[in-house]
Amino acid sequence: MKSQYRVVVIGGGVVGASVLYHLAKFGWSDVVMLERRRLASGSSWHAAGGIHALNADPNMASLQAYTIDLLSEIEKESGQNIGLHMTGGLTLAGTPERWEWLQANYRIFQSIGIDDCELLSPEEAQKRCPIMSTDGVLGAMWADREGYIDTTGTVQAYATAARKRGAEYYEETKVEELIQTADGWQVVTDRGTITCEHVVNAAGLWAKQVGRMAGIELPVSPLKHHYLITDTVPEVAEADFEMPMTVDLEGFTYMRQDQKGVLVGIYEVDHEHWAMDGAPWTYGEELFQEQLDRIETELTLGFERYPSIQNVGIKTWVNGAFTFSPDGNPLVGPVPGKPGYWSACAVMAGFLQGGGVGKTLAEWMIHGEPEADAWPMDVARYGDFAQNKRYIRETTGQFYSRRFVMTYPNEQLPAGRPLKMAPAHDAMTEAGCKWGVSWDLEVPLYFAPKDFEETPTLKRSNAFDIVAEECKVIREGAGLLDISGFSRFEVSGPNAQAWLDKVMASKLPAPGRAKLAPMLGENGRLKGDLTVLNWGDGKWWIMGSYYLRAWHMRWFDDHMIDGVDIRDLGEEYCGFAVVGPKSQGVVEKLAEQDISGLGFMGCGDFDIGLVRARVARMSVTGEKGYEINCRYGDHIKLRRMLLEAGADEGIRECGFNAMLSTRLEKSFGIWSAEFTQLYTPGMTGMDRWIDWDKDFVGKEAALAERDGNGPAQVQVTLEVDALDADASGYEPIWSGNDRVGFVTSGGYGHYTGKSLAMALVNRDKAEPGTELTVHVVGVERPARVIAPSPYDPQGKAMRG
């Protein structure tokens, strides 16, 4: 073992070994992996080893598809048998809603290029898994590339393949301390100290302690997980093929063949945490006693689903620990505020996702950006609030218990909530506000009668008419919207303007003006759809999506120069927007200065009644509007004044659901839908905001797109002939039998009376009037490309 490496990977499980392999594969061979005990100690050795394609998050499904493709390559390259059994797999649906969801996801898989799936009847499913009962099964989805592997052999294969490419790994080497230096890190082990540029925390059950060594409190926790292995099952032994990997969603179980018996795993609703502060250093290859009372219900369902196992014994019980994040996705990437420290942990499905995690992290480290959109597993999707132990306990427990529970897009889950609340939260709740959450903050969805409860559904919910009324208020009167859920960054200092001019691809606004500003990565793909405001006093604001606060601040810090100070104002400023044709009349009653002179995209300091506010004349709804930003302590007073001043104008409080409906009617894109790290300015229409005459981050790549053949797909607006459901995202778009694009977001345009979707489609299908079809909750519906902005295409309303 040398005293200096470029990268030290801490943890010799499947994730650490995959990171090591990919770093070496992509050209960094001066890397080492340290394992405190033996390879695959911890969670890897006792994992069930199942591999399957289904994931509700399309980005994670793509990650899993990459890992599945990689497995045979790793086996061949290393010469290590990984025990790959590609049996195919079934996912069973036992309720009408689940069957609808499965049909919808089958189509979404087509959008992301996973074409080896098919839908089956219960009888067809039973032919492929003859030991299963079809009682209660309404349908199933089959995937060819599902099965299982030998877990220890797979870890050895990754590590051996990495060593063949020049990487090193050492067992029985415990990391005891991390010391940050000016040039990187010192890794203190029980066998000596190593100096390196980068440290990767792939410590699995010990990720919490390895984070704390660097002053980081990662939002991870281990939970216990059961599976059993039966003795020989005669029906299995007599079959001339292997039983497929089978997931019974309503039964909370998964099953695969194990020799001549079967393995049945359980995601029990009655979850149990273990070692929330990290596993003991002496723990490695131990298991817990099975807890039959805790899994009785799920165990009974499993034995009913596979009746033949009722007549055989149980050979082995496994009750072991796996680490989970609050949403169940991995925590990957550079940790904000800790240069050279990388996270690769909370990969609860390590053998299914580990290959993709290793690829992503290696690309990120070597090239500055991963090929795929890493947001769903980016460690920066959480902020300091997620360090709280109760928050971690509640959210990880909720995820575990709901691992196989149906979750609806309009469903609001309770764990870790409410946490942060804008000051007027209680008064708005009294007024009927129904809340969602963005990052740590409660955000208003809509206002309803106090006894109203929204029904979770894949289709239009019973809140449909309530949101329609709020949209009408926005379009015809004056709506009041809490905008605490926007991010705000203040940029100042002698080089503030020069820095902004470099990181933003647009022209900067003049004093007293605001401007939409795309921000690009070096690869020319989007890093933000932001708004820059020039207050004229030497201070600038950047406004964007609230849940991206830590992610954007990391980007800003990574591109910082001397003479610039940037502050996240998310704990200092909040506010309200007044939107609609009567909005000026409301604000004029309170403004001490002449608000009528504030033109579209203008901004300035105003006295709004007793509140000193920073006001911008703009609105996401496409109506005339004023965004009034105030200090947190002024939020309650500002709301009261605006409601009183707007009483004669019929002002009404509205929520984000109405804002999202009205923005669709304007063909306004949003981040994580129309705009992501995968997309370019040319694809999304953001190129119209670029100032090509200046130098900016990502210009070379953006010019290559502009001056080359252009993007293969471009953004369009669709009108969909929908019935009782609307498109939401990733649904495939068809021209005849050809898949020509996919939906980026959708919903109902309440004021236009149209079901709308924004989509990326092939350029030759982007002309208005082009007839297409799109699957909505699994049902193919006619659709057509329409001109952008079906409401007020000239923009007269918002310009006043």
Amino acid identity, position 477: G
**Tens digit of each residue's pLDDT (9 = 90 or more) over 329-360:** 999 999 999 999 999 999 999 999 999 999 99
Contacts of 132 (CB under 8 A, 6+ apart): 90, 92, 125, 126, 246, 255, 305, 306
| Mean pLDDT value across residues 300-314 | 97
Token reading at 541: 């604001």
The confidence score (pLDDT) of residue 690 equals: 98
Q: What is the mean pLDDT of residues 19-48?
A: 96
What would the pLDDT profile of 285-300 be if each residue is shown by its tens digit?
889 999 999 999 999 9
Q: Which two tokens stand for residue 67?
A: 């890992």
Q: How far is CA 438 from CA 382, 480, 547, in A?
A: 11, 19, 6
pLDDT at residue 56, as a whole number = 66
- Model confidence pLDDT, tens digit, residues 37-48: 999 999 999 999
Task: Report helix, strand or coil for 558.
Answer: helix
Position 65 scores a pLDDT of 87
pLDDT class of 797 with cuts at 50, 70, 90: very high
Query: In terms of residues, how long is the chain?
Result: 800
Whole-number Å distance between alpha carbons of 111 and 114: 8
Residue 786's SS3 state is: strand
Peptide bond into 418 cis (omega under 30): yes
DSSP per-residue string spanning 67-102: HHHHHHHHHHHH------B---EEEEE-SHHHHHHH
Lowest mean pLDDT among 105-114, 607-616, 722-731: 105-114
Q: What's the whole-number average pLDDT of the chain?
A: 96
| 543-558 per-position pLDDT tens digit | 999 999 999 999 999 9
Cα separation of the two ends of the chain? 70
Whole-angstrom Cα distance, residue 245 to residue 143? 10
- Look up residue 334 and give its amino acid: P
Determine the 3-state secondary structure of 105 from DSSP. Answer: helix
Whether the model pTM is above 0.85: yes
Per-residue pLDDT of 576-590, as tens digits, reads 999 999 999 999 999
Instruction: Tell me which amino acid residue 629 is.
Output: N
| pLDDT of 647 higher than 80 | yes
pLDDT in tens, 123-152: 999 999 999 999 999 999 999 999 999 999
Give residue 676's pLDDT band: very low, low, confident or very high (50, 70, 90). Answer: very high
Q: Which residues pair with 568 in a beta bridge?
A: 489
- Average pLDDT of span 408-415: 96
The b-or-e profile of 515-535 (16+ CB within 10 A means b, else e) is: bbbbbbbebbbbbbbbbbbbb
Give the helix/strand (H/E) hosting 345.
strand 341-345
259-277 mean pLDDT: 96
Residue-level pLDDT at 57: 74
Question: What is the pLDDT averaged over residues 653-669?
Answer: 98
Q: Helix 58-78 crosses helix 96-111 at what angle (to 10 degrees)? A: 60
pLDDT in tens, 64-87: 889 999 999 999 999 999 999 999
pLDDT at residue 734 tops 90: yes
With a cut of 80, say whether residue 54 has pLDDT above it: no
Q: How far apart are CA 564 and CA 538, in angstroms?
A: 11
How far, in Å, are 107, 245, 442, 654, 773 from residue 119 at the CA level? 10, 15, 39, 41, 20
